[in-house]
Amino acid sequence: MTASRVLVLNSGSSSVKYQLLDMADRSRLAVGLVERIGEETSRLVHEPLTGPGAAGGRREQLGPIADHGAALRAVAAELAADGLGLDSPELAAVGHRVVHGGTKFTRPTVIDDTVLAEIRSLIPLAPLHNPANVTGIEVARELRADLPQVAVFDTAFHATIPEYAARYAIDAATADKYAIRRYGFHGTSHAYVSRATAGLLGKAPEEVNVIVLHLGNGASASAVRGGVCVETSMGLTPLEGLVMGTRSGDLDPAVVFHLARVGGLSVDEIDSLLNKKSGLLGMCGDNDMREVLRRAGEGDEAAALAFAAYVHRLKKYIGAYSAVLGRVDAVAFTAGVGENAHQVREAAVDGLAELGLALDLEANAARSPEPRLVSAEYARVAVAVVPTDEELEIATQAYALVTQ
């Protein structure tokens, strides 16, 4: 029997999301998540999608789960109860989403002690994310020591960005000393969606230039030339770029000095303000685009302004990345907002006919879980809606590495 299954783990600061996939047919065998780890009200939701357990549907466990170790052990027990345990000889690898790979990791990497130590050393660049990723790896290794563990980095797809675009225009020695540069994030999504968009156009990735707009709670844009990323909107951290659910995106860095000097805020307070209390939430009190749209539709001015600011920023990036690419074949919308909010797509593309962009408004407004084109027939640039699938991309990359 060839081992063809991959367990994908996405460990966040207080959650673990997981999927077990069979790469023989790219099917999903089980999915689930553990949330509120470390609290009294932890919750594990497990859904077997195949085998005898599938008929019973999703199962839920409520009650305290102390840490990531306990969470992963509980997940392993759920999988085992469905005959999908980590001891299965059919399991080929565990694929771990690792947020920050620094400049060191530009491709998926089999994890050994040295790699783990290097991921740990990148914690200062991603203090909220890499510690949870490290714990996830440690526990998975404990549970099944002989199994290849593969790290798939959120930054890796952006490693091809040319130096002049990756560098901030600051003192070079300072930048080098503190590893300050544009790394970019959401890389597995940008990789997957840019490739899927080429497929939708009936072309190979090498043949097309694509602007990918990943609009979820976090949001980022990328410019992909012939399958190679040449620019992205997130930077040293996932704070830069587009207006997001709770993050400001671009601002004059002097806002930070001003808040410190005049407002008396500490660095941690400013960090929290810009990462957790800004963006749509900061501007109108709601970070969920559904709520923003509903309120704006009812004439709420703050919500309408937040929506307008969100769309204005998107438009600026579409324009900038059109200039970066020179020729654009497609603009692809993905993630929670990009896939679902036709109003955002409509407003972002509105007025961009000179750039070759025009929508088929009816196609754009139709809901569908499938990848699809929503541009007008006459438009020079295709506009695509492509549901992202980061888990499948992580599993594909991990599986390719362990079977090559």
Q: By CB under 6 A, how many residues form the interface with ligand AMP?
A: 11
- Exactly one of 26, 107, 290, 312 binds ligand AMP (CB under 6 A); that residue is 290
Residue 258 within binding range of ligand AMP, rule CB under 6 A: no
**β 330-334/209-215 pair status:** parallel
Edge-first strand listing for the sheet containing 149-153: 59-62, 43-48, 27-35, 16-22, 5-11, 91-98, 149-153, 109-110
Q: At what angle do helices 342-349 and 301-325 cross, to 10 degrees?
A: 60
Residue 336 within binding range of ligand AMP, rule CB under 6 A: yes
Of 26 and 290, the one with the shorter C-beta distance to ligand AMP is 290
Count Cα neighbours of 382 within 13 Å in the Cβ-side half-sphere. Answer: 21
- Of the candidates 11, 385, 4, 401, which has an alpha carbon nearest to the alpha carbon of residue 214? 385
Residue 288 within binding range of ligand AMP, rule CB under 6 A: yes
Of 213 and 395, the one with the shorter C-beta distance to ligand AMP is 213
Residue 346 within binding range of ligand AMP, rule CB under 6 A: no
Of 235 and 336, the one with the shorter C-beta distance to ligand AMP is 336
**Contact at 8 Å (CB) between 348 and 332?**
no
Q: How far is the CB of 340 from ligand AMP (least distance, A)?
A: 3
Residue 335 within binding range of ligand AMP, rule CB under 6 A: yes
Q: Which 8-state DSSP code applies to residue 350? A: T
- Exactly one of 126, 150, 337, 374 binds ligand AMP (CB under 6 A); that residue is 337
Q: How far is the CB of 312 from ligand AMP (least distance, A)?
A: 18
Q: Which 8-state DSSP code applies to residue 275? A: H
Nearest residue to ligand AMP by CB is: 336
Between CA 72 and CA 33 the distance in angstroms is: 10
Q: Which stretch binds ligand AMP (CB under 6 A): 56-64, 247-255, 287-295, 324-332?
A: 287-295
Provide the 3-class DSSP secondary structure of residue 234: coil
Q: How far is the CB of 140 from ligand AMP (least distance, A)?
A: 24
Of 258 and 290, the one with the shorter C-beta distance to ligand AMP is 290
Catalytic residues: 154
- Exactly one of 201, 309, 340, 346 binds ligand AMP (CB under 6 A); that residue is 340
Of 47 and 82, the one with the shorter C-beta distance to ligand AMP is 47
Between CA 252 and CA 245 the distance in angstroms is: 19
Contacts of 253 (CB under 8 A, 6+ apart): none
Q: Which stretch binds ligand AMP (CB under 6 A): 5-13, 52-60, 162-170, 329-337?
A: 329-337
- Of the candidates 250, 186, 196, 252, which has an alpha carbon nearest to the alpha carbon of residue 222? 186
Between CA 288 and CA 35 the distance in angstroms is: 19
The residue type at 359:
L
- Exactly one of 341, 373, 381, 382 binds ligand AMP (CB under 6 A); that residue is 341
Residue 387 within binding range of ligand AMP, rule CB under 6 A: no
Name the residues that contact ligand AMP, by CB under 6 A.
216-217, 245, 288-290, 335-337, 340-341
